């Protein structure tokens, strides 16, 4: 390990470009984080979060280990969400009645999209659209989709961060998932179609009320019906098991692959985004290391017997790290552009553009809860320290 560290630190050709890259990421994340957190929170917390994001950028660029450092950032983002959200529930900051309307969560955008459209229609008809606009949320989603597309699921989603972090913990998969992947990989698409229709039918965010594992608390359950409450609790528990136990047993992102409607939604709309992972036919020797390493079951056999990257790819970079011959790379619309190996020229590679876009998006989105989570942790530690 010492040798590695030494060799990294002596890689002078990439040090300054990595610093430049780090500063380029820090700037917008710090600006937006401060804007998002506002004056209610000490400036230290958004600055710390921005520094964390920028450090991830530095190490990704400097070491070229995209997936490894991405995962650290991504898991940090997810953990901070869990901390803040769950602590908020304990302190009753969240009003459970807000979940009777469609919540402003990216998972809900997909499954309640028709509801948003209908509500926006009503808002437009009432002439009050500027005060209340789910359409603005749709624009935000469209913007992020154009910027990072499917990469959202591996760089910014708090569900994904939990699934991804846990899937990296076991050394070996205890349960093989090959057959399951083929049969049920499209299940999220089926769930999405059902949820779109049924959420509209009942004018309720059905996914959030019935299946969201992060809301595992009785506050959101149907108070009027014991049977429905039990079913809701059972389904949430099932989703929680898929989210937590699934990745630990299979080393795959089971929740994202088999239960997340937003994953299916983004797989469809993500085609709008230019970033892709492509197989270099000349370098690929069909060893299928990428297939085994892909946590999203997004690599399948192509017509020529070589791997083919499907629309479910989240651009996490795991396959790039696993390929022994360097046969996979990030690209823009599959074109072979910008493959500079060292120096400042690397800043113009598709990989750098993707990592920059993804980290700025993830960092900005994370600013909604990560700085507050840092404060929560700091407050708890302070309370513990002062109590002794």
Partner 1 sequence: MLSILSEGFILGLSTGFYCLTSCLPALVPYLLSEGDKVWKTNFDIFLEFLSGRFIAYFLFAVVSTLIGKAYKPYLPHWVAPLAMLLTAIAMLAFLFTSRGGHPGKGCAMQFSPFYKRIPLALGFMTGINVCPPFIAAFVRLVELSDMTAGMFYFTGFFTATSILILPAIAPTPFMNDRLKNIGRMTLAIAGVWYLLLGIKGLAAAL
Q: Which residues pair with 123 in a beta bridge?
A: none
Name which of 115 and 168 has its Cβ closer to partner 1: 115
| Residue 185 near residue 258 (C-beta atoms within 8 A) | yes
* 228, 248, 286, 322: which one binds partner 1 (CB under 8 A): 228
Please report whether residue 179 would count as binding partner 1 according to CB under 8 A. no
Please report whether residue 194 would count as binding partner 1 according to CB under 8 A. yes
| Residue 372 near residue 41 (C-beta atoms within 8 A) | yes
Name which of 67 and 232 has its Cβ closer to partner 1: 232
* 22, 60, 157, 191: which one binds partner 1 (CB under 8 A): 191
Name which of 247 and 261 has its Cβ closer to partner 1: 261
* 169, 179, 227, 384: which one binds partner 1 (CB under 8 A): 227
Which segments of the chain does DSSP mark as H helices, in order? 2-9, 12-37, 44-63, 66-90, 106-111, 113-126, 134-148, 152-155, 158-167, 178-184, 187-202, 206-210, 226-250, 254-258, 261-269, 289-293, 318-322, 350-366, 370-387
| Total of chain residues touching partner 1, rule CB under 8 A | 16
- Angle CA 32–266–276, to nearest 5: 85
Which of these segments, 43-51, 55-63, 147-155, 189-197, binds partner 1 (CB under 8 A)?
Answer: 189-197
Name which of 267 and 370 has its Cβ closer to partner 1: 267
Name which of 154 and 257 has its Cβ closer to partner 1: 257
- State the DSSP string of 62-118: HH--HHHHHHHHHHHHHHHHHHHHHHHHHTT-S-GGGGGS--S-HHHHHHTHHHHHH
Closest CA to 263 of 211, 235, 302, 298: 298
Give, as one character, the DSSP assignment of residue 10.
T
Instruction: Kindly state the smallest distance separating residue 284's Cβ from partner 1, in Å.
Output: 25
- Residue linked to tokens 């499907």: 310
Which of these segments, 7-15, 40-48, 50-58, 186-194, binds partner 1 (CB under 8 A)?
Answer: 186-194
Please report whether residue 200 would count as binding partner 1 according to CB under 8 A. yes
Please report whether residue 182 would count as binding partner 1 according to CB under 8 A. no
**What is the C-alpha to C-alpha distance for residues 316 and 70, in angstroms, rounded to an integer?**
8
Which of these segments, 76-84, 87-95, 99-107, 199-207, binds partner 1 (CB under 8 A)?
Answer: 199-207
Please report whether residue 190 would count as binding partner 1 according to CB under 8 A. yes
* 79, 117, 189, 332: which one binds partner 1 (CB under 8 A): 189
Please report whether residue 94 would count as binding partner 1 according to CB under 8 A. no
* 9, 98, 201, 301: which one binds partner 1 (CB under 8 A): 201
Name which of 267 and 358 has its Cβ closer to partner 1: 267
- Residue linked to tokens 């935000």: 140
Name which of 15 and 187 has its Cβ closer to partner 1: 187
- State the DSSP string of 74-88: HHHHHHHHHHHHHHH
Instruction: Kindly state the smallest distance separating residue 202's Cβ from partner 1, in Å.
Output: 8
**What is the C-alpha to C-alpha distance for residues 255 and 267, in angstroms, rounded to an integer?**
15
Binding site for partner 1 (CB under 8 A): 186-187, 189-191, 193-194, 197-198, 200-202, 225, 227-228, 231
């Amino acid at each position: 390990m010492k040798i590695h560290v030494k060799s990294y630190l002596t890689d002078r050709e990439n040090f300054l470009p990595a610093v430049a890259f780090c500063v380029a990421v820090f700037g917008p994340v710090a600006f937006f984080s401060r804007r998002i957190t506002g004056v209610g929170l000490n400036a230290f917390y958004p600055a710390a979060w921005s520094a964390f994001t920028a450090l991830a950028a530095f190490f990704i660029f400097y070491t070229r280990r995209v997936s490894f450092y991405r995962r650290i950032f991504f898991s940090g983002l997810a953990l901070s969400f869990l901390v803040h959200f769950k602590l908020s529930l304990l302190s009753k900051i969240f009003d459970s009645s807000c979940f009777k309307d469609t919540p402003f969560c990216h998972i809900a955008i997909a499954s309640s999209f028709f509801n948003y459209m209908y509500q926006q229609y009503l808002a437009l008809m009432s002439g009050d659209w500027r005060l209340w606009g789910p359409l603005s949320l749709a624009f935000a989603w469209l913007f992020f989709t154009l910027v990072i597309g499917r990469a959202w699921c591996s760089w910014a989603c708090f569900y994904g961060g939990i699934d991804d972090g846990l899937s990296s913990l076991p050394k070996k998969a205890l349960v093989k998932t090959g057959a399951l992947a083929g049969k049920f990989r499209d299940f999220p698409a089926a769930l999405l179609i059902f949820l779109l229709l049924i959420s509209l039918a009942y004018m309720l965010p059905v996914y959030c009320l019935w299946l969201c594992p992060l809301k595992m608390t009785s506050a959101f359950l149907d108070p009027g019906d014991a049977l429905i409450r039990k079913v809701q609790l059972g389904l949430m528990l099932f989703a929680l098991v898929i989210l937590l136990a699934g990745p630990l047993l299979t080393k795959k992102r089971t929740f994202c692959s088999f239960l997340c409607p937003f994953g299916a939604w983004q797989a469809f709309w993500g085609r709008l985004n230019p970033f892709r992972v492509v197989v270099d036919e000349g370098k690929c020797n069909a060893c299928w290391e990428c297939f085994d390493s892909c946590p999203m079951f997004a690599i399948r056999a192509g017509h020529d017997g070589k791997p083919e990257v499907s629309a479910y790819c989240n651009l996490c970079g795991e396959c790039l790290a696993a390929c022994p011959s360097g046969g996979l790379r990030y690209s823009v619309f599959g074109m072979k552009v910008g493959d500079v190996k060292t120096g400042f020229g690397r800043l113009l590679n598709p990989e750098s553009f993707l990592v920059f876009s993804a980290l700025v998006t993830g960092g900005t989105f994370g600013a909604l809860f990560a700085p507050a989570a840092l404060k929560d942790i700091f407050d708890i530690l302070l309370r513990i320290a002062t109590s002794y």
